[in-house]
Amino acid sequence: MTVKRERVLAEVKARPRTERELLDRLGGGHHMKHKLRGLLRSMVRAGELEKSDRRFRLPRRDGLVVGTFTPGRGDEGTVVSEGGRAFHVKDGAGAQEGDRVLLLPTGNAETKRGEILEVQHDRRPHWIGIVQLDLAGGRVTPYRDSEEWAIPVTRKNLGRAREGDVVVVEPTRKPGRGGRIAGRVVEVLGRPGEPEPDFRAVVWHRRLPVEFPEDVLAEVESIPEPKSERGDGREDLRDRPFVTIDPASARDHDDAVWVEEGKGGGHRLWVAIADVAHFVPDGSALDREALRRGNSVYFPDRSIPMLPERLSGDLCSLRPDVDRYALVACMDVAGDGRVTGSRLLRALIRSRARLHYEEAAAAMSGAVPHADAEVDACLGRLARCARALAKRRVGAGAIDFDLPAAEIALDAKGMPTAITRASRTEAHHAIEEAMLAANRAVAETLLSEEVPTIFRVHEAPPEDDAQELRKVFETFGLMDGRGRGPLSPKQIAAAVRRVEGRPEERLVNLAALRAMQQARYDPECKGHFALAFRAYLHFTSPIRRYADLVVHRAVAACLKGGDAAERVRRRSHELAGVARRISWRERVAMNAERDMDALKKCAFMAPKVGEEFEGTVGSVARQGLYLTLDAHFVEGLIHVSTLPEWVEYDEGAHVLVARDSGRRYALGDRFRVLVEQVDPVKGWINFSIVEAL
């Protein structure tokens, strides 16, 4: 069996992979190992791949640099990239001699300065992982780690740790040339699947900052309460019945809406966002910590906020019947969904009601009217306005992917009790449309006023990926196959709509999503392909995203004009580095949230090993069938090794075909399956077929 470059590139495009992972994914045995290793080396030399932290990936497009750290005087040092470029750093961020680091270049071509974002090395003050006992004592294997390495621990240094315990390990022996680290268990956290051990493990693995520094806490405690007087150039909107609409479990409430009747059957849509920038001065300790974090991280049982609780849960929370500072986008929306005019303002508001989505949806449908007549009328207008906005947006070619999320219910101890498909009510869609309209209006205003800021950019798929996506569409009859030019948003959106309700719906949505470039932050407005917007940014969540905080400062400067706007323009050169940093922090948060969701699903399914369930195949891959259970919104793998016949993967048709009988295993197939294995370390849930349904 030969190893093809195209197959390797396809595998690492999904996510960085180790040599062992690639060997497994390509279906090769031990005899292929040396061929694969030689190919990987040649692809790295040719610039087709990068190797970072033992994983192979496509070359970076985010402007970040992977290199090796050498300490200098004090906290300073030098990072030499894999391509040989040297960058001076003022803060080593805890890196030691020879550590591999991720660096954000901050200087120009001559100065070559940088900031270390992450130390990508296992030489840390402590490790968190799972104990595996052996004759010599044991070893600790990190969560979610696909490499077969572990930290050896002698019997004496195991303490009270048992097989399978989640533990904290400190080093007892540093590695020499070709040597390995040894460790000592200093804390037993519990068992995999329990909330606290899982949280600590994900935080350690993703290097998430949890506690706020003392200077940040002192600064936030010194912030005075907002004044109820209008003053400060703010418009008094306290008589308007603004409402907040959020999930029942929401931890912050930083956006509120109000809709009134407009001209000619249209509406005037007001979107008020907590004025977080008023409380977080640029360059303050609060600001520096918010930039370091980049965003909040949300887990099913808790969150790691970007800003301390006094801001996120109090001063910047738009609570009912409490005066709060806000930045407001006011938009005139015609009956056909066109935004015919907009303005931005600084305001003082007083929210009338706090609703969760189900309450708002019931009022919108008329099933359970809200007790406050003004609020009830506002909700009806919001629903009509949102429907007009959505119709206009879809008509322009916006792509709405249908990839439902899992909703994880927890008991009082944080253990999962149910996993269901998250519902999407009319209220969800209405708030989404209102926020999209506000973000777009702010982007267009700042562009027209030439005030620099950070935009949300989503570019068209690369040509090769677009052609592969076209093949998927043609395979399932979603496109006629006559065109060969670039795919437009309208074409992709039409294909996604045509596949609704069909067995291949999930596969097509995933294929379209994977073909897309990753959305990112950028100081240059380059449009948003999936939304079909010429200009777009993030304005509506400054409590949880640093990008929105930057935008709020730009809006405030734009409204003040004069010297304030000019100061923002003079500092525009700083925005590129900020955009790259927060784009990276967003990816870190997303990976951490996926890790935790996988762990919660494993914790939920672990007691069900040996039980049988019915389900439907949602995607087919070389390694097997991915099946989602009917009873629980949980997906697992039916590995090809468990099938009764030898099968081959037909990539074009997206099916597995039995070599002897010709039986086809395809999308939409129904099976009764046995839960064979749940591995919280790797996040795996494995099924085997009991019978076809």
pLDDT tens, 356-376? 999 999 999 999 999 999 999
The answer to whether 601 touches 592, Cβ cutoff 8 Å, is no
The answer to whether 290 touches 546, Cβ cutoff 8 Å, is yes
* Cα maximum dimension of the chain: 81
User: 471 or 46: whose pLDDT is higher?
Assistant: 471
User: 96 or 579: whose pLDDT is higher?
Assistant: 579
Q: Which of 350, 333, 354, 353 is nearest to 342 (CA)?
A: 333
d(CA 190, CA 203): 15
Q: What is the pLDDT of residue 670?
A: 95
Q: What is the pLDDT of residue 44?
A: 77
Is the confidence at residue 644, as pLDDT, over 50? yes
> What is the residue-averaged pLDDT of the chain?
88
Mean pLDDT of 556-568: 89
Q: What is the pLDDT of residue 178?
A: 45
User: 209 or 251: whose pLDDT is higher?
Assistant: 209
d(CA 251, CA 355): 13
Q: What percent of the chain has pLDDT over 90?
A: 57
The answer to whether 322 touches 316, Cβ cutoff 8 Å, is no
Type of residue numbered 534: R
Mean pLDDT of 520-524: 95
DSSP 23-88: HHHTT--GGGHHHHHHHHHHHHHTTS-EEETTEEEPPP-SS-EEEEEEE-STT-EEEEETTS-EEE
Query: Would strands 339-350 and 235-236 be described as parallel, antiparallel, or unpaired?
Result: parallel
The answer to whether 195 touches 413, Cβ cutoff 8 Å, is yes
Q: What is the pLDDT of residue 174?
A: 61
Is the confidence at residue 185, as pLDDT, over 90? yes
Q: What is the pLDDT of residue 177?
A: 44
User: 580 or 389: whose pLDDT is higher?
Assistant: 389
Cα-based distances in Å from 222 to 215, 218, 279, 280, 305:
11, 6, 10, 12, 19
Q: What percent of the chain has pLDDT over 70?
A: 93
Classify residue 451 as exposed, middle or buried by CB count within 10 Å of its CB (0-12, 13-18, 19+): buried
Measure CA of the first residue to CA of the last residue in the chain; give whole Å: 35
DSSP, collapsed to helix, strand or coil, labels residue 403 as coil
Residue range 669-693, pLDDT digits in tens: 999 999 999 988 778 899 999 999 9
Is the confidence at residue 53, as pLDDT, over 70? no
> What backbone phi and psi angles, to 5 degrees, belong to 407?
-110, 120
Mean pLDDT of 491-506: 89
d(CA 681, CA 318): 40
Q: What is the pTM of this model?
A: 0.86
If pLDDT is split at 50, 70 and 90, which confidence band does 525 have?
A: very high
